[in-house]
A and B are shown apart, each in its own frame.
Chain A
Amino acid sequence: MPAIVMPPARGARFLARRRRSYYLFIVPALVVVGAVIVFPWLFTLWMSAFDWTIGSTAHFVGLGNYQKLLGNQRFLESILHTFYFTALAVAVPLVLGTAAAMIFHREFPFRGVLRGIFVMPMMATPVAVALVWTMMFHPQQGVLNYLLSLVGLPPSLWVYSPTLVIPSLVLVEVWHWTPLVMLIVLGGLAALPTEPYESARLDGATEWQLFRYITLPLVAPFLVVAAVIRTIDALKTFDTIYVITGGGPGTASETINLYLYLQAFAFYNIGNASAVVVVFFVIVLVLALLLLHVREKTKWS
């Protein structure tokens, strides 16, 4: 530190001035973040207290929008759809991603290339992916029903069935995002110590025991990180659901995000939509904090 070379008084002032010029570097970004991120948050909170449809005048209704949401069957159902979708779209990629990470953690020929291919879905444009899956889901000409017939299974209605639509959409989500879980767990595996394995092997532990009692506890913190990221993303899923089903059939796959979209940009019901955003954000925040709390616990043990 330069303070050592300089007289203390001058050094302190010098450091303070330097600190100030570092803050100047942050100002432009703060202005932009304030305009496009913080302002929308506050505006939404403010608007949620008004009954306002674009083109008409706004009336202050206080908590009225929230009160109406509580009695809104369609909105409450969309919350259930979201939770159902999220639970599956977190659990399945976690299991598959961990399995894939165990495989890619080993040394084998063409590992780099194969990992590259495995990761590709994650970067692909969601709309493009959704369009291809729409064609694959088609009950008559879709390739998925053909694949089912190859293994002797009856054809499925996939996204055209009210009961199967959410699991089918989860299938797309699993295909899309398992790679991200794999990458996070792979990072965890790379940091593992080797000693516990050597001594356990000497004691005659099986591969499964090694995984269950050494690997799994050690990568648990990484699994929690993956679970947090996956939960946030699954709750927010929009593109694939919107393109493939648009919330249908009926409202069978209408998640909070889709309900929100309709309220805001089909009915221009800004007040109501803003209240939905606030509720939605609280749900995301609570779930994320809950999972981070679990993380602290796994760290501690």
Chain B
Amino acid sequence: MTALPLRDTHRSRARWRRGLRKTGFWLSVAVIVSPAVLVFLWMLSLSLKNEIDNLAYPPVLIPSPPTFGNFLQVFEQNSIGRYLWNSILVSGGATLVALLIGVPAGFGIARVGAKRLTVLILIARMTPALSYLIPLFAVFQFLRLNNTLTALVITHLVITVPIIVYIMAGYFETLPKELEEAALIDGGSVWSTFRYVALPLARPGIVVGTILAFIFSWNNFVFGAVLAGRETRTLPVAVYNVLTFEQLAWGPLAAAAIIVTLPVLLLTILIQKEIVVGLTHGGVKGG
């Protein structure tokens, strides 16, 4: 009889401690996730507020009423649509070329075991992006290619090719070789085993490589900042150059920032797991 209440306090204290630990845990989750949430929320808030609210002190978080005026203004007055199209052409083009040459290269590297070639790619990753620009700028000047989208696509290959080759070489290495061996013994050529056996199996790797290459090309700023002309600016360059010079209003600036980064964030959420695998697998990152 006397032992029971004692056990009870024991149990309630244990429960209390567990509750405390749980609260502490969720608190730490909140602390580490909130910076990401807050910055993106603030970005959204800035883009949906009119200029008076944006300059108000203390700052207003929830726009009342929310306005899409900033987005409309950015499209109408700053021809963001054209720059969006430029970005799609440049990143799309550079990713496509990288796939055409990078996927076979990844296959070749994986099958002959030419691991040394990936060292070249690691060194390429270590080189500051700006250092590619000086020689390429000089060459494009000579070829009269400066200010063209072609020059930008070629330069963006610096980003996309290493990513695709690196990811594909790693991916083809994980594929079982037995099927390919069987096809080769049956008299198939190396090309046809690549085309009909290895390539279909490599689709998941190709998806990850394509998306990562596209994202890092899309995010690149400095190549466009140096090589693009007025008409051929990519979106990040346009957002920086056009908007910060032509108007200092915060609303349109935030709206443009959202237009640049939203496609990337959507892709990230869509294939979160694959991106995580691709990124941690050697920590590829362009530029």
Contacts and interface: CB of A to CB of B under 8 A. Distances in A.
Contact of A2 (B181, B189, B260): B181
A264 B117 CA distance: 30
B134 A44 contact: yes
Given A2-B185, A26-B105, A121-B36, A281 B239 contact: no
Contact of A261 (B112, B130, B154): B130
B134 A25 contact: no
A103 B28 CA distance: 8
Contact of B108 (A26, A131, A133, A236): A26
Nearest to A222: B280
Given A22-B112, A135-B250, A141-B55, A184 B280 contact: yes
Nearest to A21: B190
A10 to B, nearest CB: 13
Contact of A281 (B108, B128, B240, B283): B128
Contact of B236 (A2, A43, A128, A186): A128
Interface string A264-286: 11000010011001001100110
A288 B126 contact: yes
A264 B222 CA distance: 13
Interface in A107-146: 108, 112, 114-129, 131-133, 135-136, 140-141, 143, 146
Nearest to A274: B134
Contacts of B25: 103, 106, 108
Contacts of B267: 123
B124 A127 contact: no
Given A120-B40, A143-B42, A265-B226, A40 B131 contact: yes
Contact of B265 (A120, A135, A143): A120
Interface string B246-269: 000010011011101100110111
Interface residues of A, number: 90
A47 interface: yes
Contact of A257 (B35, B36, B128): B128
Interface string B131-157: 111111111010000000000001101
A265 B133 CA distance: 10
Main secondary structure of the interface of B (DSSP, over half): helix
A163 to B, nearest CB: 23
B239 A131 contact: yes
Nearest to A171: B35
Nearest to B168: A29
Contacts of B141: 54
A23 B35 CA distance: 48
Contacts, number: 267
Interface string A5-45: 10000000000001101111110111011001111110110
Interface residues of B, number: 96
Interface in B93-129: 97, 100-102, 104-105, 107-109, 111-112, 114, 117, 120-121, 124-129
Interface string B22-38: 00010011001101110
A127 B260 contact: yes
Contacts of B219: 123-127
Contact of B101 (A28, A120, A140): A28
A99 interface: yes
Interface stretch (A73-81, A198-206, A211-219, A225-233): A225-233
B46 A36 contact: no
Nearest to A226: B283
Contacts of B43: 128, 132
A135 B253 contact: yes
Given A2-B184, A125-B218, A143-B59, A25 B105 contact: yes
Given A127-B240, A236-B287, 6 more contacts: A23-B112, A30-B105, A32-B157, A128-B236, A132-B46, A136-B42
Interface of A: 1-2, 5, 18-19, 21-26, 28-30, 32-33, 36-41, 43-44, 47, 54, 96, 99-100, 103, 106, 108, 112, 114-129, 131-133, 135-136, 140-141, 143, 146, 175, 179-180, 183-184, 186-187, 225-226, 229, 232-233, 235-236, 238-239, 242-243, 257, 260-261, 264-265, 270, 273-274, 277, 280-281, 284-285, 288
23 contacts: A21-B191, A26-B114, A30-B117, A32-B157, A44-B135, A47-B135, A106-B25, A123-B264, A124-B219, A124-B265, A127-B219, A127-B221, A131-B253, A135-B46, A146-B57, A175-B35, A180-B279, A232-B125, A238-B129, A239-B222, A265-B133, A270-B134, A281-B127
